[in-house]
């Protein structure tokens, strides 16, 4: 089966690259020029650099190396190359690699190669300080293949090296769910498997975020040297809300997380060694800080949507053993949000704002409690063909995809967006 998947991925991605490589690499604008395409890397590079700051590698050769899995046309390798003595990229598509070589022609320490599409065969174990991947695993139509890639990434990392990758979490967008294109829609990767793989491969999981949307991020680090000794007896010291305007802990919206303050833990503390419950409902440890001294750490925890309201007991377990210091946290419903119209783009060419040449629109809203209650009109005609996707659930964010009503002609038209007690209008240009 893996061979069939690999062959299908290579064929499909070569075809996409020949058709419009830059569009399929980031799903932005159709037929972008190279400068515009390469500039979009700056949306992702800060995420990668933040993860890179957590690397703790050393070595006798003094050479810092990075690997990108699914490098495509080299968009991210180009800016990331400044941090390394050597940077390598692998991709399943020969056509994408040809573009990468062209884009990286002035980076002598960059190299790209074709791989199988399911492993990192040929790359030496413990040879990279940083392994990263973005918008790649979400297109692989096999959880098993994605899991094997993650295992391979841990194999090639040096002690203290960091993995930073994006996986597909949550449900598919409507247009993807109805599309018969497995090497595009890929697979939803259960976040629980990230914990399982970390335990099995010995990787210390440092961050797992946005588990319920398409861009789930994972950061992990391979341990360096022998395990550090405990600084003392582990203690669960305190709970505080994470940053939100109301300073509350909620089961939805921006308050759906809280910070735990820990003391007496080993410097090697990581997420996969922890378990936390709210009144016996499993919560999700999502971020662990660097060591704060004295065995101290900040642990951020995601509140499950099934948590009860009110004062709940919080229990923390470390390597299966209960940690002293049972605390309580008050869980509330987040106050009714205020809707905000963020932007309107073409439904296909996402870099085209306030205009459409495809008779479709994407409308991005924040602060929406009930997306089913949102309605749209274009040129006073009701939009009846609309779907929505929760792209920022912790900010009540939704992406609505609209098809223009048949009678709407070209020219500048008014788009009206309505939610209970709220309304906004914006001018859009209908082209063609």
Q: Which residues does 258 contact at the CB level (< 8 Å), separation at least 6? A: 239, 240, 241, 242, 249, 300, 301, 303, 329
- Amino acid 1: pLDDT: 40
| Fold of domain 340-430 | Immunoglobulin-like (2.60.40)
- pLDDT at site 227: 57
- Delimit the CATH 3.40.50.150 region(s) of the chain: 2-221
pLDDT of the residue at 229: 55
Quickly list DSSP for 237-280: EEEEEPS-TT--EESSGGGSEEEEEEES--TT--GGGEEEEETT
Task: Report the greatest alpha carbon distance in the chain.
Answer: 72
Write out residues in the chain with pLDDT < 50, as ranges. Answer: 1
Helix (H, G, I), strand (E, B) or coil at 209: strand
Whole-number average pLDDT of the chain:
94
Among candidates 350, 361, 402, which has minimal Cα distance to 29? 350
- Can you give the pLDDT at residue 59? 61
pLDDT at residue number 231: 61
Residues 250 and 303: beta-carbon distance below 8 Å? yes
Which CATH number applies to 2-221? Answer: 3.40.50.150
* Intervals of CATH 2.60.40.10 along the chain: 235-332, 340-430
Which numeric CATH code is attached to 235-332? 2.60.40.10
What's the CA gap between 98 and 110, in Å, rounded? 13
- Structure confidence by residue, pLDDT tens digits, 180-214: 899 999 999 999 999 999 999 999 999 999 998 98
């Amino acid at each position: 089966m893996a061979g069939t998947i690999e062959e299908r991925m290579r064929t499909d991605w070569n075809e996409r690259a020949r058709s419009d490589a830059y569009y399929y690499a980031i799903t932005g604008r159709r037929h972008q020029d190279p400068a515009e395409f390469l500039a979009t890397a700056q949306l992702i590079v800060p995420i990668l650099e933040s993860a890179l700051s957590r690397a703790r590698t050393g070595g006798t050769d003094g050479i810092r190396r990075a690997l990108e899995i699914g490098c495509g046309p080299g968009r991210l390798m180009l800016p990331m190359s400044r941090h390394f003595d050597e940077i390598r990229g692998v991709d399943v598509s020969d056509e994408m690699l040809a573009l990468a070589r062209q884009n990286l022609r002035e980076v002598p320490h960059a190299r790209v190669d074709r791989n199988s599409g399911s492993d990192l065969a040929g790359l030496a174990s413990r040879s990279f300080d940083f392994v990263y991947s973005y918008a790649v695993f979400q297109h692989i139509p096999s959880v098993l293949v994605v899991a094997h890639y993650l295992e391979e990434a841990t194999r090639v990392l040096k002690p203290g090296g960091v993995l930073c990758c994006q996986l597909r979490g949550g449900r598919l967008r409507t247009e993807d769910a109805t599309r018969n294109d497995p090497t595009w829609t890929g697979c939803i990767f259960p976040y629980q498997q990230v914990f399982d793989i970390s335990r099995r491969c010995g990787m210390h999981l440092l961050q797992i975020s946005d588990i319920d949307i398409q861009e789930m991020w994972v950061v992990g680090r391979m341990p360096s040297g022998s395990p550090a000794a405990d600084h003392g007896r582990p203690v669960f010291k305190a709970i505080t809300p994470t940053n939100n305007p109301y300073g509350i802990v909620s089961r939805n919206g921006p308050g759906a997380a809280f910070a735990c303050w820990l003391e007496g833990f080993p410097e090697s503390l990581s997420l996969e060694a922890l378990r936390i419950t709210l009144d016996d409902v499993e919560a999700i440890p999502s971020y662990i800080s660097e060591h704060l001294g004295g065995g101290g750490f900040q642990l951020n925890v995601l509140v499950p949507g099934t948590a009860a309201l009110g004062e709940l007991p919080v229990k923390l377990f470390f390597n299966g053993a209960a940690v002293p210091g049972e605390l309580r946290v008050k869980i509330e419903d987040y106050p009714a949000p205020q809707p905000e119209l963020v932007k309107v783009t073409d439904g296909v060419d996402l870099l085209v704002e306030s205009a459409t040449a495809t008779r479709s629109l994407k409308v991005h809203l924040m602060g929406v409690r009930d997306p089913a209650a949102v309605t749209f009109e274009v040129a006073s005609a009701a939009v009846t063909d609309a779907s929505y996707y929760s792209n920022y659930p912790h900010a009540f964010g939704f992406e609505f995809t609209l098809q223009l009503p048949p009678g709407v002609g070209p020219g500048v038209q008014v788009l009206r967006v309505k939610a209970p007690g709220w309304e906004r209008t914006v001018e859009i240009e209908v082209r063609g």
